[in-house]
Chain A
Amino acid sequence: AQTVTQSQPEMSVQEAETVTLSCTYDTSESDYYLFWYKQPPSRQMILVIRQEAYKQQNATENRFSVNFQKAAKSFSLKISDSQLGDAAMYFCAYRITGGAQKLVFGQGTRLTINP
């Protein structure tokens, strides 16, 4: 069974600084996708960034980038120049490419931005 583990229940960072959220996963599949989702308080979950497992190049979306280490099954999210609006729960998620393509989520990391 696929599992996703986020070992940091809470993280905090000073505004404008950089923070890295960790995620590891377990799978026997070779083709899959990894995601980071953001869930602000009382608001809906939105996709932050996506990584396709067959691509060696790490994905980047503006201030958000990932460090994808396929052999280590590690997928961390780096947020640069942190902003107050980045405060949220962040979930790492995995899915295979076929079938239901259901998402398997980690437990989440609560990110606090200190002004």
Chain B
Amino acid sequence: DTGVSQDPRHKITKRGQNVTFRCDPISEHNRLYWYRQTLGQGPEFLTYFQNEAQLEKSRLLSDRFSAERPKGSFSTLEIQRTEQGDSAMYLCASSFQRENLNEQFFGPGTRLTVL
């Protein structure tokens, strides 16, 4: 399968614990996006990378959140000191920037439950 993959698919943690999610984009894609989707809502943008550079972060991304994309390949999203409000689906998407054509392909998501 050459689509976007995310690991783990589900994560249950206790409040105050740290969690890390991984996203593997489509191999030739230079852009990678993280979105958060809460129950009954559409996804909301968190941050994006062009190659290894993190170029924009949403105000939703508090200082407990950090994202990396070393070497412009896979990306990790870490949440420190999790709170119940962090419970959501975390979606990763990747794209190849070519002029204005920038179709984003989504992964299956990581569903986080904070108890």
Contacts and interface: CB of A to CB of B under 8 A. Distances in A.
A37 B102 CA distance: 14
Nearest to B35: A103
B106 interface: yes
Chain B residues touching A, range: 20 to 34
Interface in A32-89: 33, 37, 43-47, 50
B42 A105 contact: yes
Nearest to B31: A101
Interface residues of A, number: 24
**A46, A47, A101, A108 — most chain B CB neighbours (10 Å):** A101
A91 B45 contact: no
A103 B45 contact: yes
Interface of A: 4, 6, 33, 37, 43-47, 50, 91, 93, 95, 97, 99-108
